[in-house]
Structure 1
Amino acid sequence: TVIGFTHFRPFVSQLRAGTNCFLDDLFVDVAFRGSGAAQALIEAVKAEAAAKGWGVVRWITAEDNYRGRNVYDKLATRTPWVTYDIKL
């Protein structure tokens, strides 16, 4: 039974002349939140990125995603970057 999934991809850092990992999506079924599944998925992405020699795993989340951010704050360092969009 699938209880969650993640999607990630490489991205190039021109300033550091290296490849990093962007975690695009992380989803855990509501019934399994708090079970450690999110942490396990992020750790799996981290292991894959390390095996590929990528320098960092990065993701963004909504400011009001308090439950997710509670998990993320235990696993990673929040950066000072703010994201902007131009709708086309």
Structure 2
Amino acid sequence: HYRPYFRPLAAAVAGHLDDLFVEPDARGTGAVDALFDALSSIARQRGWSKIRWITADDNHRARSKYDQLAERTMWVIYDMPVSPSGS
């Protein structure tokens, strides 16, 4: 799953990769490279300035690949739960 997101300070639109899962049998076969090549092509067609995604800190195998494909950012992500009752 991927979608556009707005970057107001850069006056640009980028892509956000929400979910990426590669079946264990497909890992190490070039599947990830093919997926990111396809996503890069889509991003170019849509005029996105970059593609961003989030992964778990302990996802070491994936992160070693991501480090080859992209630049790690300085951002730390927070989630604030919102109670449906307002309390």
- Say whether the fold is shared (TM-score over 0.5): yes
Deviation of 1:20 (Å): 0.5
Q: SS in structure 1 opposite 2:10?
A: coil
User: What is the one-letter code of the residue matched to 1:43?
Assistant: D
Q: Indicate if the aligned counterparts of 1:10 and 1:20 stay in contact, CA closer than 8 A.
A: yes
> How many pairs were matched up?
82
In structure 1, the gaps of 5 or more residues are 1-6
1:36 is displaced (CA, Å) by 1.1
Query: 1:26 & 1:50 partners in 2: Cα distance?
Result: 19
**1:75 aligned residue:** 69
2:20 is matched with 26
> Among residues 34, 49, 57, which one is paired with 1:63 in the alignment?
57
Q: Can you list the C-alpha shifts for 1:15-71, whole angstroms capped at 9, x where unaligned?
A: 111111001111111111111101210121111001111101000100000011011
Q: Which residue of 1 aligns with 2:41?
A: 47
Alignment of 1:8-27 (within 5 A): 8-27=2-21
Q: Which has the higher strand share?
A: 1
Identity %: 49
Across the aligned residues of Structure 1 and Structure 2, the Cα RMSD in angstroms comes to 0.8
Q: Which has the larger radius of gyration?
A: 2
Alignment partners' CA distance in 1, 2:64 and 2:13: 27
Which one has a larger percent helix, Structure 1 or Structure 2?
A: 2
TM-score (norm 1): 0.88
Instruction: Please list every run of at least 4 consecutive aligned residues from structure 1 whose deviation after the TM superposition is greater than 4 angstroms.
Output: none
**TM-score between the two structures when normalised by the length of structure 2:** 0.89
